[in-house]
Amino acid sequence: MTPTLAVRDLTVRFPLRPARRRAPGPVVHAATEVSFDLHPGRVLALVGESGSGKSVLASALLGLLPATAVVTGSALLTGGPPVEVLAAPTRVLGTQVRGRRIALVPQSAATSLTPVRTARSQLEEAVRELAPGADPRARADALAERAGLDPGDLDRFPHQLSGGMAQRVVVALALAGDPEVVLADEPTAGLDRPLVDRTLALLREVADAGCAVLLITHDLGALLRTPGAADDLAVMYAGRLLETGPARAVLDEPAHDYTRDLLGALPAGGLVPIPGAPPELTDPPDGCAYHRRRPDAGACDGGRLHAAGSRSARCRPLPALVGVRPC
Ligand X SMILES: Nc1ncnc2c1ncn2[C@@H]1O[C@H](COP(=O)(O)OP(=O)(O)OP(=O)(O)O)[C@@H](O)[C@H]1O
Binding site for ligand X (CB under 6 A): 14, 28, 30, 48, 50-56, 66, 218, 281
Of 30 and 234, the one with the shorter C-beta distance to ligand X is 30
Based on its alpha-carbon atoms, the radius of gyration of the chain, rounded to whole angstroms, reads: 20
**Smallest distance from ligand X to CB 132, Å:** 33
Q: For residue 276, what is the DSSP state?
A: S
**Smallest distance from ligand X to CB 55, Å:** 3
**Smallest distance from ligand X to CB 53, Å:** 4
**Smallest distance from ligand X to CB 276, Å:** 16
Q: For residue 93, what is the DSSP state?
A: I
> For the chain, percent helix, then strand, then coil, each to nearest 5?
35, 25, 45
Of 12 and 97, the one with the shorter C-beta distance to ligand X is 12
Question: Within 10 A of 35 (CB to CB), how many other CB atoms are there?
Answer: 16
Q: Where are the beta strands (DSSP E) in the chain?
A: 5-15, 27-38, 43-47, 70-77, 83-84, 102-105, 181-185, 212-217, 232-237, 240-246, 305-308, 311-314
With CA atoms as reference, report the closest residue to 179 among 70, 278, 274, 80. Answer: 80
Of 53 and 245, the one with the shorter C-beta distance to ligand X is 53
**Smallest distance from ligand X to CB 29, Å:** 8
DSSP line for 216-268 = EES-HHHHHHSTTS-SEEEEEETTEEEEEEEHHHHHHS--SHHHHHHHHTSGG
- The sign of the torsion formed by the CA atoms of 282, 33, 13, 48 equals negative
Of 64 and 307, the one with the shorter C-beta distance to ligand X is 64
Amino acid at 114: T
**Smallest distance from ligand X to CB 66, Å:** 5
Of 59 and 122, the one with the shorter C-beta distance to ligand X is 59
Of 54 and 100, the one with the shorter C-beta distance to ligand X is 54
